[in-house]
Structure 1
Amino acid sequence: MIDWNRVRDLRSEVGNDDFDEIITMFLEETDAIVARLSASLPTSRLESDLHFLKGSALNIGFASFARLCQIGEKQAADVKTDVPVAAIITAYRESRAELLSHLAKGLVA
């Protein structure tokens, strides 16, 4: 679900303080966009949001969420295909909870 090597690499690359800030910004921005996903968005907006989420998720290490965003982005481009919005939202919530749990326990060093 989470690429912990990427999380550790990010923390090592930016340092602890900037890492905490990046995680906070990512979660705030992603929370807002994920909340918007459950609304009936025009497919162009949905495709754009999923593209943004995919890139951000890869940077943070949310591998499963990023993969589903990539699938959804392609499906949004093909307006005849339904986008798995519920699965994308679930993957984000699970990844978010797992990351926060690991951070709280100090398991990401």
Structure 2
Amino acid sequence: MIDWAQVRQLREDIGLEELSGVVAVFLAEAEEAIEELKSQPPDAGDQMAATLHFLKGSASSMGFVAFAETCAQGESKAEKGQVFDVSVGDVVRLYQSSKAIFLKGFPARFAEGK
């Protein structure tokens, strides 16, 4: 569900302190996008596709691979006008479970000196 190698690479690229800030920004922006997704009207296919595209890209860079893939699938459906085939509930649940796994594993894997 989480690509820890991706997270380690990001830590190597920007450092632990910066990574912690990036994580905080990602989680805040993802939460905001999830709320937007939940409140979008059913006929807002372009808006849904744009929100899912944003979530897909952000999640991918943070190593949330399963969530990013689900967002990609939803984005594709929304772009084709198949908004009723996108399960926003599934997207939300996968984000929440991915976030929980990430927050549980992040401190243990990325504490100073590890």
Aligned mate of 2:106, from 75, 95, 103: 103
Aligned to 1:10: 10
Q: In the aligned structure 1, how far is the partner of 2:55 from the partner of 2:3?
A: 16
Question: What displacement does 1:98 show?
Answer: 0.7
Aligned to 2:92: 89
Q: In the aligned structure 1, how far is the partner of 2:99 from the partner of 2:17?
A: 19
Aligned residue type for 1:93: Q
Q: Which structure 2 segments of 5+ residues have no match?
A: none
Aligned to 2:37: 37
Q: In the aligned structure 2, how far is the partner of 1:25 from the partner of 1:80?
A: 31
Q: In the aligned structure 2, how far is the partner of 1:38 from the partner of 1:13?
A: 34
Question: What displacement does 1:20 show?
Answer: 0.3
Q: Looking at CA atoms only, which structure, 1 or 2, has the larger radius of gyration?
A: 2
Q: With structure 1 as the length reference, what TM-score do the two structures score?
A: 0.92
Aligned residues: 108
Aligned mate of 2:78, from 73, 76, 81: 76
Partner SS state of residue 91, structure 2? helix
Partner SS state of residue 82, structure 2? coil
Aligned to 2:50: 48
Q: In the aligned structure 1, how far is the partner of 2:94 from the partner of 2:29?
A: 16
Aligned to 1:19: 19
Task: Give the superposed CA RMSD.
Answer: 1.2
Q: In the aligned structure 2, how far is the partner of 1:93 from the partner of 1:65?
A: 9
Partner SS state of residue 93, structure 1? helix
Partner SS state of residue 13, structure 1? helix
Question: What displacement does 1:103 show?
Answer: 2.1
Q: With structure 2 as the length reference, what TM-score do the two structures score?
A: 0.88
The runs of at least 4 consecutive aligned structure 1 residues that moved more than 3 Å come to none
Aligned to 2:69: 67
